[in-house]
A and B are shown apart, each in its own frame.
Chain A
Amino acid sequence: MPDTITATKGDVPDNANEHCPGPESESAGKADGCAGCPNQEICASQAAGPDPDLPIIAERLSCVKHKILVLSGKGGVGKSTFTSQLAFALASDENTEVGVVDVDVCGPSIPKIMGCEREEVHPTGHGWSPVFVQDNLGVMSIAFMLPDEESAVIWRGPKKNGMIKQFLRDVDWSSTAEGGVLDYLLFDTPPGTSDEHLSVVQLLRESGITGAVIVTTPQEVALQDVRKEIDFCRKAQVPIIGVVENMSGFVCPGCKGESRIFYPTTGGAQKMCKDLGIPLLGSIPLDPSIGRACDFGSSFLDTCPESPAAKAYLDIIANIKRIIESK
């Protein structure tokens, strides 16, 4: 075992043969040095050299003005909830065209949260049509392609990458919009820094990413993972729009007393953002109505506009718009 994990050339696995050319190389899986390597088959099966699909994806997404990745380091902080409510809020202006790509292949929550769970994807002459939640809000998720909602998607990296690539290459977003322009395309990702994240970043290399919004909760255990997520963005050269602190305080519906469930013992997202020079987009308190809205597939901003959490969402969205318009 290494003393510490340090950067290795390309993405060379620790169990690779000594003279591994690197999994991204032209001779990946085919070089003399690959014989007997446990990863040989995987490397050989992947196309070597520049990916011919990248320009196709760039062309497909040329109709999209802003592509935003929603990331979190930790699971359970409310990333999918945030992505869906952000999508609903942006689409509340009927002149704004919005799309959501659910890249969480193992746990695709977006269709349920957005109330389009049992829909199917339809091919058109120009590719796949996304599922429409509203006239100006389209969604794509692997959930639409699974035989039943209880099947586990137990895929290793290459198959997940293939699926994500299909989403980007084959979905026709231009059909959603008047004038064929999508104002926002949001990417909901699984927690962590893994295959899905690498794939999205690599596949969008030519077409460009506007930036990432990182969701966290206030406690150090979550912030630790957010710092890693920020490190990932910096390594992958993904611009960071800012951080959203979720579940930041609780207002009792009974006595209206304020308390904290997740303590910011190390200063919460505010201190972390200050230390790292990243905008804090806002803080959203814990409101049970948000969870309920998601369980029923409705827009929280529509169902509970008077909640303090609703105001927080609107402030955050205004901040996001301001930051990306100024870039």
Chain B
Amino acid sequence: GHRVGVLDIDLCGPSIPRMLGVENYQIHQASSGWVPAYVDSDKRLSCMSIAFLLPSRDSSVVWRGPKKNAMIKLFLSDVYWGELDYLLIDTPPGTSDEHLAVVEYLQEWNPDGAVIITTPQAVALADVKKEINFCEKVGLPILGLVENMSGFVCPHCAECTNVFSTGGGEGLAKHLDIPFLGRSPIDPNLVMLLEQEDKTLVPNVNDPEAEKEKTTSIVETYQRCELSNMFSGIAKHLTETLNVKEAA
């Protein structure tokens, strides 16, 4: 029953609309502000991204800092989200203007914190350490760390190969005393779901010729992917942590 908004502040590479299946949303305004795209018919999952404002999908956004800051400020002040239980903010890689802007503009609303995503290998961890350092410097609490793309199970023989190594994220979280939220392997069906245009078809990459099951929205289709169980666990952990914080 939660109402969730997703704000995509990756201005150069806004991927969220395609992933959620709302790429073709025509943005419009209500009297209270800009109306976000709704992913499901119950209007519980909404999304805002610069992608909705570009003249074409291929247009590049080549902006320096001040213009990016202004856009992020607008996103935070002028979008009419309605009542939300959670607002998730997807950021670009790095520790740059977008990150500074969003932390600065969100300050008065006391953001709950950051979830850090990494892949397992050392080269990724080196950058994630900086991201963690950024959070510390700007006073943003870290809610936890997820080790993504941690293993791929071969569809032919079911052997798991650690394509980007494994364990690095967990090791780092332990070392820095950050809650470790879990290791998510590569789930080809989830990858396909985020990739395909029709989000109501349940992917079955091991048997592409088989007739595909149909659902009513991506929210339902997603629950058919194996990885959704793991993410339910993460969501539960986060909501419990935040409830405890609120009660305190």
Interface residues of A (CB under 8 A from B): 1-6, 11, 13-16, 23, 38-39, 42, 73-76, 80-81, 106-107, 109, 112-113, 149-158, 160, 190-195, 197-198, 219-221, 224-225, 227-232, 235-236, 250, 252-255, 257, 259-263, 265, 286, 288, 291-292, 294-295
Contact = CB atoms under 8 A, between A and B. Distances in A.
B163 A227 contact: no
Given A80-B123, A153-B95, A195-B64, 14 more contacts: A1-B74, A13-B64, A38-B66, A109-B127, A154-B96, A154-B100, A220-B195, A228-B59, A231-B58, A259-B154, A261-B163, A261-B191, A265-B192, A288-B164
A315 to B, nearest CB: 22
Interface string B142-183: 000000000010111101011111000000000000000000
Interface string B125-152: 0110111111001100000000000001
B54 interface: yes
B130 A106 contact: yes
Contacts of A23: 64, 66
Given A4-B54, A194-B12, A254 B96 contact: no
A150 B93 CA distance: 16
A163 B200 CA distance: 48
Interface stretch (B13-21, B107-115, B229-237, B238-246): B13-21
B95 A1 contact: no
A152 B135 CA distance: 9
A319 to B, nearest CB: 24
B186 interface: yes
Contacts of A80: 123
Contacts of A81: 123
Main secondary structure of the interface of A (DSSP, over half): loop
B171 to A, nearest CB: 13
Contact of A75 (B62, B92, B126, B155): B92
Interface of B: 10, 12-13, 15, 18-19, 34, 50, 53-55, 57-71, 73-74, 78, 92-97, 99-100, 119, 121-123, 126-127, 129-134, 137-138, 152, 154-157, 159, 161-165, 186, 188, 191-192, 194-197, 205
Given A151-B130, A219-B191, A156 B12 contact: no
A265 B100 CA distance: 35
B60 to A, nearest CB: 4
10 contacts: A15-B70, A73-B13, A152-B137, A154-B137, A194-B12, A221-B194, A224-B13, A250-B163, A259-B155, A288-B164
B93 A190 contact: yes
B65 to A, nearest CB: 4
Nearest to B79: A1
Contact of A253 (B67, B161, B194, B195): B161
B195 A263 contact: yes
B65 A195 contact: yes
A189 to B, nearest CB: 12
A268 to B, nearest CB: 11
Given A75-B13, A154-B100, A232-B60, A5 B123 contact: no
